Amino acid sequence: MRTTGKGTKTALVPLPPAVGRSIDRAIENRVRGPILGNLRGRRMDRHCATRRLRRMADHALVRLPPLHPHMLRHTFITTMLDAGVDPRDAQLAARHADPRTTMRYDRARTNLDRHPNYILAAYMASAI
């Protein structure tokens, strides 16, 4: 899918099949315009997205903190890092220009299991 991001930068983003099917359902037969629109048929802005996300959270079966769209982005990046995706690949997926921006999302960086000393020791033990 071709997307337009910050600074009108365009990018091609591969979509998992389930996401592609959801987008196909959202756009129906349209070939132009936004994927998600507001009640007036215009492009959804961040305020509209926040209201819609909070409305969906109100209907959830679990109690959730007040949500905002950036939390979804944060979850996307932290889940990639938790799953072991290479930080450079996570940076590219998040479209961050600076790798330090991506690493701010890495909440597991204080996890001692990932400390380089343990990784090096495991590597050296496997070579013996």
pLDDT tens digits, 29-40: 888 888 888 888
| Cα–Cα distance, 57 to 21 (Å, whole number) | 23
Give the pLDDT confidence of 48-104 residue by residue, as tens digits: 999 999 988 888 887 888 888 888 999 899 889 888 899 999 999 998 989 999 988
pLDDT, residue 81, reads 87
**Residue with tokens 């944060």, as numbered in its chain:** 74
- Whether residue 85 contacts residue 91, with contact meaning beta carbons closer than 8 Å, is answered with no
Q: Is 124 left (phi over 0), alpha (psi -120 to 50) or beta?
A: alpha
Q: What burial letters (b/e) apply to 84-106, b meaning 16+ CB within 10 Å? A: eeebeebbeeeebeeeeebeebb
| Cα–Cα distance, 30 to 26 (Å, whole number) | 9
Is the per-residue pLDDT at 111 higher than 70? no
- Whether residue 106 contacts residue 81, with contact meaning beta carbons closer than 8 Å, is answered with yes
| Domain definitions of the chain by residue range | 1-66, 68-128
- Which residues sit opposite 51 in a β-bridge? none
Per-residue pLDDT band for 21 (boundaries 50, 70, 90) equals: very high
Q: With both helix axes pointing from N to C terminus, report the angle between 69-82 and 87-94 in degrees, rounded to the nearest 10.
A: 160
pTM score: 0.69
